[in-house]
Structure 1
């Protein structure tokens, strides 16, 4: 048997064939970088999406004049300018408007008021925008007898906080209402109570809950509702409500300043004597009475320390 013939085949080795083209290396490197970038972005996107479901849900809202308060007073130059222009022209057409001295008396208390100041105003008047501006960094709330008035106000000045109430009193019934309040002095018409649950005929109890429970009112101005004719609601309810709010506040360290306008009228004069009390009257400027009432102010379970004469009555 012939042995198998073996052949050795030699190939010439090419150096060029052993060299990997640089373009191939660059392409591979670029591909890897893109892969890494894609992976990083995918992880980042996943983390962001995951956080939407795991973090507490929060929203950002634009603060409004109703709830935004700061501990900064209105700068003195601005305050003085507002008062200057508000008192520049003497009122000769509307006798129910505050006179410059009366307006200045209220403004002086607002200026000294702790910040943020809580200001409750009964009635919409010529001075409504001024009161809101002077107490810009506090809370100013208006109580109005007409929902239509509020709608008109909100169309032009949506930042004003106002609430309408339904008054059940009439000027012509003031004497009966005062006698009724005296008989209920230790019951429904007591000076310290939560008016939200009051059944007293003089109590305003249909305002939002915060008015009675959450806010300590530093200043109260009674310049409404209407009270110049027998069937008008009169201000007896507003005066009674102010007297109770001032005495029932949770913060006993702060007095409440209560202003009553048009004290020349019988309802305002007699009602203030019964529920705000002469011993709390600190000044009278024109037709404006200024009372300062502390927490639980009064004596013997009544509104006043000094007994009010039984003959107090409204001459109609």
Structure 2
């Protein structure tokens, strides 16, 4: 309904409210719907941003915490000491080559923790071996009791014992012959060395060491570069017997012999670790043997299936 009021030349048109109400109901509903949708979208956006912020913050905090924890686990003090020590002496001529170290490291990484690692000889790599086997047990055997005591005092994390060697490199041929003659008696491939009377067997180590199942053995001592030196014949013989007499754990023992290019190491390894057990002999100075625990009676009476026919004097 429309009313017109004339006032001079001006006309004023008034629309009745009833007509406005009837003319725009759909538009009002549309406006209301859009408003509700806009408010809902705004609230959703605010909530999502808050949730995302909280989630991201929490994830970042967790990541940082894990990183710190992992750093603490993978870089304990003993590892840092070893790295510093090894870096400081990197130019030493007595160091083992990186290729040889990697061979041993690869085996240690595959070892089921805790790994029992026996090392003959305190060398420039001592702290490194102990650090690389951080979650296992690493034991060092050396002929110098003063140096063993010094290392334990300076590095409390090192477990070292001294032992008396009675062999001489100049007697290599005679020693090998005597072991062959007693391979079914005192110098058996499978025995408890603690009670052994074999001349080249080490029977004066701490009793507990004979009870452990050694997963990895490294022969890098004793000294053996002059005729009257003890050489490694006793260490290699002992490693062979410990591997074959293993009581528990994995039935295989990885035995590494350093300075394999020298006669006493090569001949002793051929006799007591055996060529059929040789996995790899690198162009550097290390040989890798895998010796299995002996179960059958025949193998308990001899070290190798085929002994070398000659032994260098």
Unaligned runs of 5+ in 1: 1-71
Could you tell me how far 1:151 is from its partner in structure 2?
A: 1.9
Confirm or deny: 8 A CA contact 1:281 1:290 kept in the other structure: yes
How many residues align? The count is 239
Confirm or deny: 8 A CA contact 1:252 1:295 kept in the other structure: no
TM-score with structure 1 setting the length? 0.70
Confirm or deny: 8 A CA contact 1:252 1:294 kept in the other structure: no
Deviations 1:144-173 (A, max 9, x none): 101100121122102211110000001111
Could you tell me how far 1:84 is from its partner in structure 2?
A: 8.7
Alignment map for 1:158-237 (pairs within 5 Å): 158-213=156-211, 215-237=212-234
| Mapped partners of 2:300, 2:105: distance in 1 | 34
TM-score with structure 2 setting the length? 0.70
Could you tell me how far 1:284 is from its partner in structure 2?
A: 1.5
Larger Rg: 2
Could you tell me how far 1:97 is from its partner in structure 2?
A: 2.2
| Selected match of 1:122 from 120, 123, 135 | 120
Counterparts in 2 of 1:89 and 1:166: CA distance versus 1, 3 Å: closer
Confirm or deny: 8 A CA contact 1:87 1:100 kept in the other structure: no
Residue 302 of structure 1: aligned partner:
302
Deviations 1:156-191 (A, max 9, x none): 102211110000001111111000000001001110
Higher strand content, 1 or 2? 2
Unaligned runs of 5+ in 2: 1-69
| Mapped partners of 1:158, 1:77: distance in 2 | 17
Residue 104 of structure 2: aligned partner:
106
| Mapped partners of 2:155, 2:117: distance in 1 | 18
| Mapped partners of 2:118, 2:150: distance in 1 | 20
Question: Which is further off, 82-91 or 143-152?
Answer: 82-91
Could you tell me how far 1:304 is from its partner in structure 2?
A: 1.0
| Mapped partners of 1:252, 1:104: distance in 2 | 24
Q: Secondary structure at the match of 1:299?
A: helix
Higher helix content, 1 or 2? 2
Q: CA RMSD in A?
A: 2.7
Confirm or deny: 8 A CA contact 1:143 1:163 kept in the other structure: yes
